[in-house]
Amino acid sequence: MYALSRSLLPSHPLCVSAYVFNSKTAELLSHHQVEIKQEFPREGWVEQDPKEILQSVYECIEKTCEKLGQLNIDISNIKAIGVSNQRETTVVWDKLTGEPLYNAVVWLDLRTQSTVEKLSKRIPGNNNFVKSKTGLPLSTYFSAVKLRWLLDNVKKVQEAVEENRALFGTIDSWLIWSLTGGINGGVHCTDVTNASRTMLFNIHSLEWDKELCEFFGIPMEILPNVRSSSEIYGLMKAGALEGVPISGCLGDQSAALVGQMCFQDGQAKNTYGTGCFLLCNTGHKCVFSEHGLLTTVAYKLGRDKPVYYALEGSVAIAGAVIRWLRDNLGIIKSSEEIEKLAKEVGTSYGCYFVPAFSGLYAPYWEPSARGIICGLTQFTNKCHIAFAALEAVCFQTREILDAMNRDCGIPLSHLQVDGGMTSNKILMQLQADILYIPVVKPSMPETTALGAAMAAGAAEGVGVWSLEPEDLSAVTMERFEPQINAEESEIRYSTWKKAVMKSIGWVTTQSPESGKFLPLGFFIVSSMVMLIGARYIS
């Protein structure tokens, strides 16, 4: 069995990618990717074309099936399809024509800051019912405020809602609806992990919440049906895989948690993409953070299976800072060059970089912050700035891990990592040094694709992937041990925190801001499982 995954490689251009896995060994057999555009109509606005995403999915499926043929693998072996996606990215489309009514508003988009400010004034100081029901702070990050903006500002959306033609969804819903027939009987659904990132979903009852929908002014009839992360949603209605069931759906970070096999209470993983996302499995109980983390649904792997929750820390800018050095400053010509520059100097020489391009996310949730580079001298050159950029990713992860350790009470003994940036060995060694614990990386870093494929293959009615502990394939790991002493690690970290304080308060009046990235993906299964997805890191 194989799995095909489409995903955005975080430190590379946004891509729709397809990965094919052997379902018995979890071995990656083949992949294909297509680059898609990201649009920035104004400062702080980040959009994608839903039709381009969908077309790229079809292209990835076709090309991957062709490559399977070249490997003498019959595509009739593909028995199921799963989806992994950018969780908060918001799409509204017309159910009668199948046309999107506006571009997808990406998770890191900041146009909704004024919407957030207006709504926050309506939350009673002693009863933050939004956070208690959703586990989320009121922020530009989540789908409800993006949807509210579309309803307030896009006439085509307003008219479609009034005429009962509008459907809302995150990217998973748009893909599943389209792939299962669209205007001809497409299935309008999402899973619990994606629903939990909309700020309209009660994570205790696992249902859309009437009070939340009324607070945000969202008509409940446009919302997708909420399903588990592993069940048959519908069948592919076109293309090489026509008739194959779509049976897995997980938001990208939940998919990575499953792909890293963090099924036990207290197990955690960090995904390095456009942003960074550290999730810790808290089992069947919701743990509410005292230190700026989010409470979210981790997964529900079957209609009758229990729900698992997670604590999550989100960093807006990780791989995106590498892209910024390439595209905005021209310090590097390709993302891979950053490792070479950093290796040349082996130190930032006292230079510290806080890439708060979209404000600060966890644990600060401070929209007034902006990016700064400080500690510069006449000796500082582009190599030091490159090194400081990599350190910034690691320092931000340390802040989240510290918050998670305080909330859980049991410090992690090691950190499991995945995502495109983990191929950078300098970054991984820096992370071990700054955390002062070992960093453990699987030999196959595309665990988001693997997790969605596992969910799809394990679905009732498919049954080609066992999630029993004794049946899960052992994954080869690379381990990075700390190589500096604890005192040096603490000095560097405390200096970083000093820099963070200087980044806060730069925006003192309402102004547009810029953003961060999340994943969207899509998977397929058989005696193969296939995952296809396009993602920013959410």
Do the Cβ atoms of 319 and 274 come closer than 8 Å? Answer: yes
User: For residue 352, what are its two tokens?
Assistant: 């510290």
Identify the CA nearest to 423 among candidates 401, 443, 437, 438: 443
Range 212-219 average pLDDT: 96
Helices (H), ranges, 87-128: 113-120
Identify the CA nearest to 373 among candidates 386, 360, 361, 358: 386
Identify the CA nearest to 7 among candidates 528, 447, 459, 458: 447
Strand-pair partners of 277: 271, 314
In angstroms, the CA 175 to CA 189 distance is: 10
Do the Cβ atoms of 392 and 386 come closer than 8 Å? Answer: no
State the number of CA atoms in the 13 A half-sphere of 203 facing the CB. 29
In angstroms, the CA 326 to CA 388 distance is: 15
Whole-angstrom Cα Rg for the chain: 22
* Length of the chain measured in residues: 538
In angstroms, the CA 537 to CA 252 distance is: 7
The three-state DSSP-derived secondary structure of 97-125 is CCCECCCEECCCCCCCHHHHHHHHCCCCC
In angstroms, the CA 178 to CA 55 distance is: 10
411-434 per-position pLDDT tens digit: 888 899 988 889 899 999 999 999
Identify the CA nearest to 188 among candidates 169, 205, 207: 169
Do the Cβ atoms of 79 and 524 come closer than 8 Å? Answer: no
Q: What is the pLDDT of residue 518?
A: 28
User: For residue 173, what are its two tokens?
Assistant: 């819903």
The answer on pLDDT for 474 being more than 80 is: no
Beta pairing class for 4-6 and 522-525: antiparallel
Beta pairing class for 308-315 and 294-299: antiparallel
Q: What is the pLDDT of residue 519?
A: 29
In angstroms, the CA 219 to CA 396 distance is: 37
The answer on pLDDT for 189 being more than 60 is: yes
Q: What is the pLDDT of residue 100?
A: 97
- Cα end-to-end distance, the chain, whole Å: 29
| CA angle in degrees (0–180, nearest 5) for 482-430-426 | 115
Do the Cβ atoms of 299 and 250 come closer than 8 Å? Answer: yes
In angstroms, the CA 168 to CA 99 distance is: 12
Q: What is the pLDDT of residue 531?
A: 52
Provide the pLDDT confidence category of residue 521 given band limits of 50, 70 and 90: very low
Mean pLDDT, the chain, integer: 87
The answer on pLDDT for 530 being more than 80 is: no
Preceding omega of 363 cis (within 30 degrees of 0): yes
Q: What is the pLDDT of residue 364?
A: 84
In angstroms, the CA 176 to CA 464 distance is: 21
The answer on pLDDT for 226 being more than 90 is: yes
Measured N-to-C along each axis, helices 425-435 and 382-408 cross at an angle, to the nearest 10 degrees, of 50
Q: Which helix (H) or strand (E) holds 78?
A: strand 78-85
Which range has the top average pLDDT, 123-127, 187-191, 280-284?
187-191
Do the Cβ atoms of 130 and 199 come closer than 8 Å? Answer: yes
In angstroms, the CA 312 to CA 295 distance is: 6
The answer on pLDDT for 533 being more than 70 is: no
In angstroms, the CA 424 to CA 272 distance is: 11
70-97 per-position pLDDT tens digit: 999 989 888 889 999 989 999 999 999 9
Helices (H), ranges, 293-424: 319-324, 337-345, 382-408
In angstroms, the CA 508 to CA 367 distance is: 10
Identify the CA nearest to 319 among candidates 428, 393, 401: 393
Beta pairing class for 78-85 and 528-534: parallel
In angstroms, the CA 123 to CA 348 distance is: 44
